[in-house]
């Protein structure tokens, strides 16, 4: 416990510097510490923090003053109205639209309490690939029922809006943001929403992205589209979160496209529009360099979008504790420059909300970091392990925290180390398919677009001799990333096409280094099994213990699959021998190529089912 007390002291000091707002609180020390706050939500957060300290056995010996770093700390649910969840791996949607508003499940309040425990203050209920039906009166009544449950927990409700809603449910011939009828339609719709939900938060919009409608369909810019919605919602205090996740097949490197489209619009957005930008320039890969757009829109409110659901990190089968990834982002993107932070939720109707017991740690960590990004991933893991797993010995606690901290790097190592990205199977994004080439598929959806492996080398040249994405970065990063010598190893193949036999800074050839990473990733997953088994005596919840043990077995098997499939495929291209330390592949490349999980694009069955199909 001592280490926790020390880190808490540091965290408390840092919080003193944060700006006070009505969500902040103060806890005064004493035999029974007192919570002071300017608002009921601030009081709730203070009480929740005090509860956490008590549960962790930490005494309040000095006054604690705390304010959130980001004023908007929001979950994005990619939940569809038919109960499915896009990229959701924890069962079906938690929202039972068929039963609402008549029947309000007690799980809604449980969910809101979990969010409030870590300071999450908003939730977008539906998928960004939005059905316009959510804006019909029938659904708005259901949304109101949820908003009523969430309100006492300090959680505001937001909705994803389909930009073509005036056409789809309003009967208008277009959705041009400069068409007066369109503006009137949105104005009436917003009025209807606020009559039902006076503290409605606003809209999240995915426009002109992956086939979704948007202002560009009518010759208008993203700023014109966002500003029209912003103007109708402004009188009610609402906001528009406008996503910058745009790319289209064409000449420009996909990693450059959001910047190319949005940077020229800097300064044009209304001040109740926040441009929501994915953490990396491509798409939630196991590791990406930060998105340069996040640091180069000085005249625009921006917020990073993180992905809590593990679309590209082994779904709910793999242990991947994501706080290290998010802290990495905040080491490049200063939280003070951002208006909020969004996390794509990993929550469903599964018995524990997230399916993998450790996936709850990512929900927890998202909230804790959104409140205070200076908290260390280790401290957050320590809190979560002590609060949720409650191991009966310090040794097991340390062991589990250590596993969690190592887990994200392990996933990067066995899936796509050294800056490789998008080697995923088409559609479901679970297993490896660096060779994937389905007929008629868009080039920028294929792994070869990203890995560019050929007989000479591997990696995407994003320097001046290639796509020049490096020049979108500010100094010193633009210079560092452009130089093959100075580029950090973890981004090497993101920015450079490197010869297979070129020596990298460790003295190994690129091929040896790549093999090393894959091998290390696999070894780590085997160590996770040993580590977890060593904790068995200390975990009282035997069902949870067995559940995790089973998933770790799947993860280790998958890690071998990733390593074998990728290394065999790259070997076929470069014709080199494997270094001695590489363990022999379990199957041949052809056998791996024949693996067909038979699962659809967006959802994934339970680990067990997947395992039996493998
Ligand atoms: O990562 C991709 C996902 C899509 C998702 C899209 C987005 C909601 O594969 O399923 O759609 O990103 O972020 O809009």
Burial class (CB in 10 A: 0-12, 13-18, 19+), 210: exposed
78 C-alpha to center of ligand 1: Å?
9
Q: Phi and psi of 72, rounded to 5°?
A: -115, 115
A 10 A CB-CB count for 128 gives: 25
Is position 309 within any domain? yes
Q: Where are the beta strands (DSSP E) in 259-379?
A: 273-278, 301-307, 340-344
If asked whether residues 230 and 300 sit together in one domain, one would say: yes
Residue whose CA is at the smallest distance from ligand 1 atom 2: 283
Looking from the CA of 416 toward its CB, the CA atoms found within 13 Å total 30
Sheet architecture: strand order including 25-28: 34-37, 25-28, 64-66
If asked whether residues 449 and 513 sit together in one domain, one would say: yes
If asked whether residues 549 and 597 sit together in one domain, one would say: yes
Kindly provide the b/e burial profile for residues 584-609, where b requires at least 16 CB atoms within 10 angstroms of the residue's own CB. ebeeebeebeebebebeebbbbbbee
In the listed set 66, 83, 102, which residue is the last one of a domain according to the structure?
Answer: 66
Is position 491 within any domain? no
63 C-alpha to center of ligand 1: Å?
44
The answer to whether 245 and 257 have CB atoms below 8 angstroms apart is no
The answer to whether 381 and 404 have CB atoms below 8 angstroms apart is yes
Is position 607 within any domain? yes
Q: Cα 284 vs. chain centroid, distance in angstroms?
A: 7
> How does pLDDT run across 398-407, given as a tens digit for each residue?
999 999 999 9
> 204 has which bridge partners?
160, 241
- Confirm or reject: Cβ of 502 under 6 Å from ligand 1: no
If asked whether residues 79 and 94 sit together in one domain, one would say: yes
What is the DSSP pairing of strand 25-28 with strand 122-124? unpaired
305 C-alpha to center of ligand 1: Å?
12
* Lookup result for tokens 């270094």: 579
Q: Cα 554 vs. chain centroid, distance in angstroms?
A: 22
- Confirm or reject: Cβ of 312 under 6 Å from ligand 1: no
For residue 574, what is the domain's CATH number? 3.90.1330.10
Is position 484 within any domain? no
If asked whether residues 255 and 377 sit together in one domain, one would say: yes
Question: What is the rounded CA–CA span in Å between residue 370 and residue 327?
Answer: 10
pLDDT value of position 596? 78
The answer to whether 239 and 452 have CB atoms below 8 angstroms apart is no
If asked whether residues 36 and 154 sit together in one domain, one would say: no
Is position 406 within any domain? no
Q: Where are the beta strands (DSSP E) in 122-270?
A: 122-124, 156-160, 202-205, 239-243
pLDDT value of position 413? 98
Residue whose CA is at the smallest distance from ligand 1 atom 1: 283
Question: What is the rounded CA–CA span in Å between residue 411 and residue 409?
Answer: 5
If asked whether residues 61 and 84 sit together in one domain, one would say: no
If asked whether residues 145 and 49 sit together in one domain, one would say: no
DSSP per residue, 412-444 = HHHHS-TT----BPTTT--SB-TT---TT--GG
In the listed set 66, 90, 106, which residue is the last one of a domain according to the structure?
Answer: 66
* Lookup result for tokens 């994005």: 76
- Confirm or reject: Cβ of 129 under 6 Å from ligand 1: yes
The answer to whether 483 and 496 have CB atoms below 8 angstroms apart is no
If asked whether residues 427 and 308 sit together in one domain, one would say: no
Q: How many domains does the chain have?
A: 3
Q: Where are the beta strands (DSSP E) in 67-151?
A: 72-76, 122-124
Is position 174 within any domain? yes
Secondary structure (3-state) at 503: strand
**Would you say how long the chain is, in residues?**
614
> 509 has which bridge partners?
503
Start-to-end C-alpha separation, the chain? 43
Task: Look up residue 599 and give its DSSP letter.
Answer: -
Q: Give the domain range for residue 40.
A: 2-66
Of 72, 182, 188, 210, residue with least CA distance to 137: 188
Is position 375 within any domain? yes
- The residues that are catalytic are 210, 283, 311
DSSP per residue, 16-84 = HTSPP-TT-EEEE-SSS-EEEESSHHHHHHHHHHHHHHHHTT----S-EEE--SSSEEEEE--B-TTS-
pLDDT value of position 278? 98
For residue 316, what is the domain's CATH number? 3.20.20.80
The answer to whether 41 and 87 have CB atoms below 8 angstroms apart is no
pLDDT value of position 595? 84
Which atom of ligand 1 is nearest to 283's Cα?
1
> How does pLDDT run across 1-56, given as a tens digit for each residue?
334 433 343 343 333 333 345 999 999 999 899 999 999 999 999 999 999 999 99
* Lookup result for tokens 């992905």: 307
Q: Which residues of the chain have pLDDT under 50?
A: 1-20, 601-614
The answer to whether 460 and 466 have CB atoms below 8 angstroms apart is yes
User: What is the pTM assigned to this prediction?
Assistant: 0.94
pLDDT value of position 184? 98
If asked whether residues 52 and 111 sit together in one domain, one would say: no
Question: What is the rounded CA–CA span in Å between residue 162 and residue 123?
Answer: 17
Secondary structure (3-state) at 537: helix
pLDDT value of position 21? 59
Of 413, 401, 419, residue with least CA distance to 365: 401
pLDDT value of position 19? 34
If asked whether residues 61 and 87 sit together in one domain, one would say: no
Is position 286 within any domain? yes
* Lookup result for tokens 């500010």: 474
* Lookup result for tokens 């080039």: 443
If asked whether residues 107 and 6 sit together in one domain, one would say: no
- Candidate of 163, 210, 248 to mutate for ligand 1, largest count of ligand atoms within 8 Å of Cβ: 210
- Confirm or reject: Cβ of 87 under 6 Å from ligand 1: yes
Residues in Cβ contact with 351 at an 8 Å cutoff, skipping those fewer than 6 apart: none
* Lookup result for tokens 């997953």: 525
Of 490, 316, 526, 315, residue with least CA distance to 403: 526
Residue whose CA is at the smallest distance from ligand 1 atom 3: 87
The answer to whether 292 and 319 have CB atoms below 8 angstroms apart is no
206 C-alpha to center of ligand 1: Å?
10
In the listed set 19, 37, 66, which residue is the last one of a domain according to the structure?
Answer: 66
The answer to whether 434 and 447 have CB atoms below 8 angstroms apart is yes
- Candidate of 77, 84, 87, 310 to mutate for ligand 1, largest count of ligand atoms within 8 Å of Cβ: 87
pLDDT value of position 441? 85
pLDDT value of position 442? 85
């Amino acid at each position: 416990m001592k280490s926790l007390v020390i880190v808490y002291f540091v965290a408390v000091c840092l919080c003193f510097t944060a700006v006070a707002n009505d969500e902040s609180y103060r806890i005064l020390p004493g035999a029974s510490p007192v919570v002071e706050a300017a608002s009921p939500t601030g009081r709730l957060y203070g009480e929740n923090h005090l509860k956490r300290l008590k549960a962790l056995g930490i005494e309040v010996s000095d006054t604690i003053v705390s304010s959130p770093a980001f004023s908007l700390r929001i979950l994005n649910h990619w939940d569809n109205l038919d109960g499915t969840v896009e990229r959701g791996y924890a069962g079906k949607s938690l929202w039972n639209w068929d039963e609402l508003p008549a029947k309000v499940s007690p799980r809604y309040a449980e969910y809101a309490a979990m969010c409030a425990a870590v300071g999450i203050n908003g939730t977008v209920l539906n998928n960004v690939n939005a059905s316009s039906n959510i804006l019909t009166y029938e659904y708005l009544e259901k949304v109101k029922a949820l908003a009523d449950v969430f309100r006492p927990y300090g959680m505001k409700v937001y909705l994803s809006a389909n930009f073509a809603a005036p056409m789809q449910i309003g009967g208008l011939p277009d959705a041009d943001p400069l068409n007066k009828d369109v503006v009137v339609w949105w104005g009436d719709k917003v009025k209807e929403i606020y009559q039902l939900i006076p503290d409605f938060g606003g809209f999240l919009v995915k426009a002109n992205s992956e086939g979704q409608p948007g202002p560009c369909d009518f010759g208008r810019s993203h700023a014109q589209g966002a500003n029209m919605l912003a103007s109708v919602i402004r009188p009610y205090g609402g906001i528009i979160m406008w996503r910058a996740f745009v790319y289209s097949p064409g000449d420009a490197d996909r990693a450059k496209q959001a910047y190319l489209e949005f940077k020229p619009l800097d300064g044009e957005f209304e001040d109740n529009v926040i441009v929501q930008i994915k953490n990396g320039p491509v798409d939630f890969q196991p590791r990406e360099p930060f998105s340069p757009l996040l640091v180069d829109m000085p005249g625009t409110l921006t917020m990073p979008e993180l992905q809590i659901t593990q679309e590209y990190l082994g779904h709910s089968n793999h242990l991947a504790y994501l706080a290290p990834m998010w802290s990495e982002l905040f080491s490049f993107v200063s939280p003070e420059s951002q208006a909020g932070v969004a996390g794509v939720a990993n929550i469903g109707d599964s018995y524990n909300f997230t399916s993998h017991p450790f996936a709850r740690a990512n929900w927890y960590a998202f909230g804790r970091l959104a409140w205070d990004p200076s908290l260390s991933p280790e401290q957050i893991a320590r809190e979560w392990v002590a609060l949720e797993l409650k191991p009966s010995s310090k040794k097991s606690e340390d062991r589990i925290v250590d596993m969690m901290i190592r887990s994200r790097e392990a996933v990067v190592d066995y899936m796509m180390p050294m800056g490789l990205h998008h080697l995923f199977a088409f559609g479901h994004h679970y297993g490896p398919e660096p060779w994937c080439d389905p007929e008629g598929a868009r080039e920028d959806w294929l792994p070869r677009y990203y890995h560019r492996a050929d007989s000479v080398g591997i990696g995407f040249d994003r320097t001046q001799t290639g796509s020049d994405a490096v020049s979108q970065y500010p100094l010193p990063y633009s210079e560092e990333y452009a130089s093959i010598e100075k580029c950090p190893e973890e981004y090497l193949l993101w920015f450079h096409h490197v010869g297979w036999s070129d020596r990298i800074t460790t003295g190994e050839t690129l091929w040896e280094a790549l093999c090393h990473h894959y091998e290390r990733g696999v070894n780590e997953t085997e160590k996770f099994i040993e580590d977890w088994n060593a904790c068995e005596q200390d975990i009282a919840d035997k069902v949870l213990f067995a559940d995790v043990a089973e998933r770790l077995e799947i993860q280790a098997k998958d890690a071998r699959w990733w390593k074998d499939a990728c290394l065999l495929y790259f070997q076929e291209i470069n014709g080199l021998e494997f270094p001695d330390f590489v363990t022999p592949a379990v199957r041949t490349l052809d056998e791996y190529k024949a693996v067909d999980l038979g699962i659809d694009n967006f959802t994934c069955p339970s680990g067990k089912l997947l395992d039996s199909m493998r």
